Amino acid sequence: MIQGAVIKQDRLRSKLAFAVGIIFGIGLVAGEQGYVGDIWRLYSEDITYLVVQHVKLVGISSGLAILVGIPAGILLSRDWMQRYSEAILQVFNIGTTVPTLAILALSITLLGIGFTPAVFGLWVATLLPIVRNVYQGLREVPAHLKEAATGMGMRPLHILRAVELPNALYVMFAGIRTAVAINVGTAPLAFLIGGSGLGELIFTGIDLNDMQMLLAGAIPTALLAMLADYLLGRAQYWLIPRGVNPLR
């Protein structure tokens, strides 16, 4: 019941996001002499450049988070790690209570100013939801499936690949989706530590009290977040096998 409701909400959300995106798009194209049109005329060059920067920042940091988070989650979920994994995840949990801005600030002390510390900060913020969901997803694979697999003569790595990961995929994907959403939303802060991205327009707009400049950064950021969520939603729908995909 609850799961069903969540799924419906999920579907509704991605449809809504898509609809809003289209409306914004139409606004951008058709609103040549409207307010949005003015912004576009003034800032189109900045926007196109900064969107690429923004996407680079988000793509690299979440890509790295996925690359590290999945193996880490798998490792923590192994039976022989059980003694330590809850403690480790507790440490991670405390880590999330630290505000992202603080993490970014702290990464300056380690890596200085620029693109690298920005990626690092975003990577840290994104890593936890991924690790936790991978871990959770794998631990929730029913024990009897693993027993059946062992009893039929599968070796541990094969069980992980053919049974555990496919059955944990939905929960893992949910973690990645959350992580990327956080990442896209946090990325504007990267500007504060010398990373590029749409934050440049937003914060400069705030400082200059220039509403148009601010919106030139904020609207694309919002659109990017929705687009990312929509694309991941589609990927979740199509990539996860039908037998374990509650959406299908």
Partner 1 sequence: MIKLEKLSKVFETPGGGSVIAADQVSMEVPEGEICVLLGPSGCGKTTTLKMINGLIPKTSGSIWVAGRDTDTVDPVELRRSIGYVIQQIGLFPNMTIEDNICVVPDLLGWDRKKARRRAGELLELVNLDPAIFLKRYPKELSGGQQQRVGVIRALAADPPVLLMDEPFGAIDPINRGVIQDEFLKMQKELRKTIAFVSHDIDEAIKMGDRIAIFKDGHLVQYDSPDDLLARPRNDFIASFLGSDRTLKRLSLLKVSDVMLGDQVRVTAQDDVARARDMMQEAGHRNIVMVGPRGRARGFLHLNDIRDVTGRVEEHFQALPTTVNVDDDLRTAVSRMFRHDTTWLACVDDDGFFKGFVTQRAISHALGATYRDAAQPAEAFAEAL
Which spans of this chain sit near partner 1 (rule: CB under 8 A)? 142, 144-145, 147-155, 158, 162-163, 166-167, 169, 241-244
CB of residue 240 to partner 1, shortest distance in Å:
9
Minimum CB–partner distance for residue 82 and partner 1 (Å): 15
Cβ proximity to partner 1, 99 vs 142, nearer residue = 142
Which CB atom, from 149 or from 226, has the smaller least distance to partner 1? 149
User: Residue 143 CB, nearest distance to partner 1 (Å)?
Assistant: 9
Q: Minimum distance between the CB of residue 70 and partner 1, rounded to whole angstroms?
A: 17
Smallest gap, in angstroms, from Cβ of residue 9 to partner 1? 21
Of residues 41 and 158, the one with the C-beta less far from partner 1: 158
**What does the H/E/C string look like for the chain?**
CHHHHHHHHHHHHHHHHHHHHHHHHHHHHHCCCCHHHHHHHHHHHHHHHHHHHHHHHHHHHHHHHHHHHHHHHHHHHCHHHHHHHHHHHHHHHHHHHCCHHHHHHHHHHHHCCCHHHHHHHHHHHHHHHHHHHHHHHHHCCCHHHHHHHHHCCCCHHHHHHHHHHHHHHHHHHHHHHHHHHHHHHHHHHHHHHCCCCCHHHHHHHHHCCCHHHHHHHHHHHHHHHHHHHHHHHHHHHHHCCHHHCCCC
Pick 5 or 242: Cβ nearer partner 1 = 242
Choice between 55 and 154, CB closer to partner 1: 154
